[in-house]
Amino acid sequence: MALVWPEKARESTRVRRSPFGHHHRTDRVGEGTGRGVGATMANFFEDNEDLQFYVEKGIDWAPLVRFAEYDFGEGSSFENVAEGVAFYRDILRMVGEFAAEEIAPRARAIDETGVTFQDGEVIEPKALTEIFDQMRALDLHRMCLPREFDGMNCPVLLYQITAELFARADVSVMAHFGFHQGMAMAMLAYSLFEGTTTFERDPIRIAKTRFEREIREIAEGKAWGSMDITEPDAGSDMAALKCVGEMDEEGNWYVTGRKIFITSGHGKYHFVIARTEKARSGDPEDAFAGLEGLSLFLVPTYEEDAQGKKRWLATIEGVEKKLGHNGSATVSIRFEKTPAHLIGKRGEGFRLMLLLMNNARIGVGFESLGLCEAAWRLARDYAAQRSSMGKTIDQHEMIADYLEEMATEIQAIRALAIDAAWHEEVGRKLDLALRIQPPEDPRQRAGLERERKAHQRRARALTPLLKYYAAERAVEIARRAIQIHGGYGYMRDYGAEKLLRDAVVFPIYEGTSQIQALMVMKDTLGEVVKHPSRFLKEMLRVRRRAFTARHPLERRVARVQLVSLRAIQHLIARVLRLKVHDIRRLPATEWLSALRKNWNPKRDFAPALLHAERLTRLLSHRAICEVLLDQALRFPEREELLCRFLERAEPRVEEEFRTISTTGDRLLQRLSARGEAGKSDAA
């Protein structure tokens, strides 16, 4: 059973096939499902007004539809943007129904059964297998793939929205789902990057791509992939990776080493980061001893004969027993001279990994959002029916405040997630357009290049903020759901404890919260160091807007922005004080040169490193306020949401600034003293 492609002439009452094998009209969800006339099926898209706002108003679909349809050229399935959006809406309705009716009811069984390991094979829960059989029948693994691979050609943003819907039903299902289509799209992206995908020009279509066979296999639901980075002695510190890639005399590559904590690592296709370059001198400061010595490989872990029997090329050593995400297999795997395919060039592994990780981190933001939505609704519904002291507990002031804060945070995360995903995709699509069909007019080409850079800068800025904020809030919102349930929340019967178990990993995987904070700190302070005059001009503009902007909400948001800029200014000043203290030991003629270069991030940025998470929280609040203000100025009905968020954000950012500006010296002095003592002992 497959989704029907949209026809040129759309009819609001055309017959589609439901996710459950019944024909029904798309305007009467639930008819013909065995529930009786007028029965309504649960639907995680249709019961979410805030999500519908984005689909109907909040998202600028035009560039995404035009990119996907090559500006409605020959072969396009749509005549205009509205037709494309209508099709995307139909997909979200279908996925919302599927998530609510088929995944959510199986979530408990998946959690209780979990994955097991027997005779070298990972055994999935029966309920999970049933869900993925239906996903395959619905062609969901083809959602974002181009039509050249029989895909639906949908924007990646649509896929990210479905991630929220799936994660609301069960995050382990979403995690495993992501390593199907996500890996197929990564194969295509890597082939585009290395230049092994070619295009026909009239009409524009993919003529050939390097991994077409593998992409089609995944699209058919017959295989999936994984991203293999972590090793026993190397997690966030990728420079410490020891897995090696070696080339024989005939130019064939082989990978040897052990990887751990690999999500969906029982799949066929593994993207493996391995060391191919050795430090030329044995000096740990040599670039090849670190990230520049890494390369990326596609490694098939088994082959199948005509009867479907597997011959393993790598060894799955076991399945981790985890706190949550019990339907998602997390494995350890060993490669022993396993045949591998180099992607890109030697030494590009870290750079290529980041191409995949950016979308993966945005995906974690949407997964976290889905879990938050589930936790809030569970707590809200329980509070509405639980009576205490003469009224339901949702009418008690503290619980009402909890519930409103949870709802506000969810809408804030969604605003940040949609904005990050939109800029990421538009930036990528502009890059692709400039590669395959650049405008002949140099001025037009330069204009598109400026747009591309602007979108990619915005995506780079928002992605770690989203990953950090959504993951941390998911843990807190899940914990609040337990608290609202009281003693019942601690028991397995109500499901609240499962949500907390599932949430705890969000601040850990796909880059810990601390790694996200370090990225934010590095990019933010680095930009100020490179362009100090630009920073000062921004401070002046924001300060002026905080007092003179016409709209009161603009003034309030400007004050939040100003606090963030003051925090950045304070950290820069502290960093410079340390640097100046060091260079005073040099001859005065060398001061200016030392101030401009020879920066050591580990030593010189200590005050900023200490407060990186506080700065990240502050900048997350600022980014959300900016996105919500933009919405409020365009859609007056969104003003209430911005007001609600500002009530929470304003005192928080002031507190973060106070902590940044008044604490840390004592700890830094203690750490510095220990460091000097260590050097003396070593000498």
Q: What is the pLDDT of residues 388-409, one digit of tens each?
A: 999 999 999 999 999 999 999 9
Question: From CA 675, how far away is CA 669, in angstroms rounded?
Answer: 10
Q: What is the Cβ-side half-sphere exposure of residue 176, based on CA atoms within 13 angstroms?
A: 26
Q: Which of 325-334, 427-436, 550-559 has the lowest mean pLDDT?
A: 427-436
Which residues have CB under 8 Å from 595's CB, separation 6+?
A: 579, 580, 583
β partners of residue 226: 270
- Going by pLDDT thresholds of 50, 70 and 90, the confidence category of residue 587 is confident
- Do 197 and 259 lie in a common domain? no
Cα dist. 460→233, 425, 467, 520 in Å?
28, 12, 11, 9
User: Could you tell me if residue 627 is inside a domain?
Assistant: yes
Secondary structure (H, E, C), 314-354: CEEEEECCCCCCCCCCEEEEEEEEEEEEEECCCCCHHHHHH
Concatenating the DSSP letter of every residue in 144-181 gives: TS-GGGT-----HHHHHHHHHHHHHH-HHHHHHHHHHH
Integer Cα distance of 585 and 602 in angstroms? 20
Q: What is the pLDDT of residue 8?
A: 33
Query: Is the residue at 282 inside a domain?
Result: yes
Q: Are residues 201 and 275 in the same domain?
A: no
Tell me the C-alpha to C-alpha distance, in Å, between residue 280 and each of 158, 273, 290. 46, 20, 12
- Other C-beta atoms closer than 10 Å to the C-beta of 551 total 12
Tell me if 661 sits within 8 A of 567, measured CB to CB.
yes
Residue 417 to residues 32, 54, 60, 368, 463, Cα–Cα distance (Å): 36, 11, 14, 10, 8
* Structural domain contains residue 264: yes
Do 549 and 408 belong to one domain? Answer: no
HSE (side-chain half, CA atoms, 13 Å) at 8:
5
Number of domains in the chain: 4
**Residues 332 and 361 reside in one and the same domain:** no
Residues 467 and 562 in one domain: no
Would you state the pLDDT for residue 288?
60
Decide which of 583 and 6 is more confident.
Answer: 583
Containing 228, the helix (H) or strand (E) segment is strand 225-228
State the pairing for strand pair 269-275/225-228: parallel
Tokens, residue 597: 């270069």
- Of 307, 329, 347, which closes a domain? 347
How far is the C-alpha of 245 from the C-alpha of 255, rounded, in Å? 4
Contact 451, 459 (CB under 8 A): no
Encode 358-397: b = buried (16+ Cβ within 10 Å), e = exposed. Answer: bbbbbbbbbbbbbbbbbbbbbbbebbeeeeeeeeebbeee
C-alpha to C-alpha distances, 55 to 48, 164, 418, nearest whole angstrom: 11, 14, 10
612-634 vs 397-436: helix axis angle to the nearest 10? 80
pLDDT tens-digit profile of 192-236?
A: 999 999 999 888 889 999 999 999 999 999 999 999 999 998 887
Strand 387-388, strand 330-343: pairing: unpaired
CATH number (domain holding residue 493): 1.20.140.10
If one counts every other C-beta atom within 10 angstroms of the C-beta of residue 99, the result is: 27
Contacts 24+ apart (CB under 8 A), 432-437: 432/67, 432/192, 433/67, 435/192, 436/199, 436/204, 437/201, 437/204
Residues 479-522: tens digit of each pLDDT: 999 999 999 999 999 999 999 999 999 999 999 999 999 999 99
Mean pLDDT of the chain: 90
Q: Provide mean pLDDT across the span 154-161.
A: 98
Name the 3-class secondary structure at 497.
Answer: helix
Flag whether 3 is in a domain.
Answer: no
pLDDT band at 23 (very low <50, low <70, confident <90, very high): very low
41 three-class SS = coil
What's the rounded Cα separation, in Å, for the pair 369 and 410?
7
Q: Name the residue among 528, 559, 581 with its Cα closest to residue 625.
A: 559
**Would you place residue 29 in the very low, low, confident or very high pLDDT band (cuts 50, 70, 90)?**
very low
Q: Which of 347, 382, 414 is the endpoint of a domain?
A: 347
H/E stretch holding 253 reads strand 253-263
Instruction: For residue range 653-682, list pLDDT tens digits in order.
Output: 999 999 999 999 999 989 888 766 666 565
The answer to whether the beta carbons of residues 398 and 504 sit under 8 Å apart is: no
Measured CA to CA, the distance from residue 81 to residue 157 in angstroms comes to 15
Task: Give the pLDDT of residue 575.
Answer: 87
Q: Are residues 302 and 437 in the same domain?
A: no
User: What CATH code is carried by the domain that includes residue 249?
Assistant: 2.40.110.20
Name which residue leads in pLDDT, 75 or 304: 304
Shared-domain flag, residues 307 and 399: no
Spatial contact of 374 and 168, defined as CB atoms under 8 Å apart = yes
Tokens at residue 664, please?
């840390």
295 and 196, same structural domain?
A: no
Is residue 231 packed enough to be buried (19+ CB in 10 Å), middle (13-18) or exposed (0-12)? buried
Task: Tell me what pLDDT residue 281 has.
Answer: 60
Quote the distance between the C-alpha of residue 13 and its chain's center. 36
Question: Which tokens go with 613?
Answer: 């998470």
Shared domain for 328 and 309, answered yes or no, is yes
Check if the beta carbon of residue 179 is closer than 8 Å to that of residue 166.
no
Tokens of 279: 């430090």
First-residue to last-residue Cα distance in the chain: 71
Confidence (pLDDT) at 593: 65
Give residue 588's pLDDT.
64
Stretch (H or E) spanning 304:
strand 302-304
Task: Tell me the pLDDT band of 20, cut-offs 50, 70 and 90.
Answer: very low
> Is 605 domain-assigned?
yes
| Ramachandran sector of residue 74 (left: φ over 0; alpha: ψ -120 to 50; beta: rest) | beta
Does residue 139 share a domain with residue 101?
A: yes
User: What CATH number does the domain containing 43 carry?
Assistant: 1.10.540.10
Burial class (CB in 10 A: 0-12, 13-18, 19+), 306: exposed
Residue 11 lies in a domain: no
Percentage above 90 pLDDT, the chain: 78
- Residue 12 in any domain: the answer is no
Name residue, tokens 């996925």. Answer: 95
Residues 215 and 230 in one domain: no
| Rounded Cα distance, 651 and 653, in Å | 6
Task: Tell me what pLDDT residue 290 has.
Answer: 77
Structural tokens at position 201: 């020009």
Give the model's confidence band at 582: pLDDT under 50 very low, under 70 low, under 90 confident, else very high: low
The answer to whether 169 and 44 have CB atoms below 8 angstroms apart is: yes
pLDDT of residue 27 exceeding 60, the answer is no
For residue 440, give both structure tokens.
């002949």
Give the span between the Cα atoms of 274 and 296, in whole angstroms.
Answer: 6
Dihedral of CA 235/238/244/250: which sign? positive
Q: Does residue 523 share a domain with residue 490?
A: no
Give the number of C-alpha atoms closer than 13 A to the C-alpha of residue 375, restricted to the C-beta side: 36
Residue 74's pLDDT is 80
Q: Last residue of a domain, which of 219, 236, 265?
A: 219
Q: Which domain holds residue 439?
A: 357-502
Quick check: 282 pLDDT over 70?
Answer: no
pLDDT tens digits, residue range 32-48?
333 444 456 899 999 99
Residue 647: inside a domain, yes or no? yes
> How far apart (Å, rounded) are the C-alpha atoms in residues 179 and 568?
38
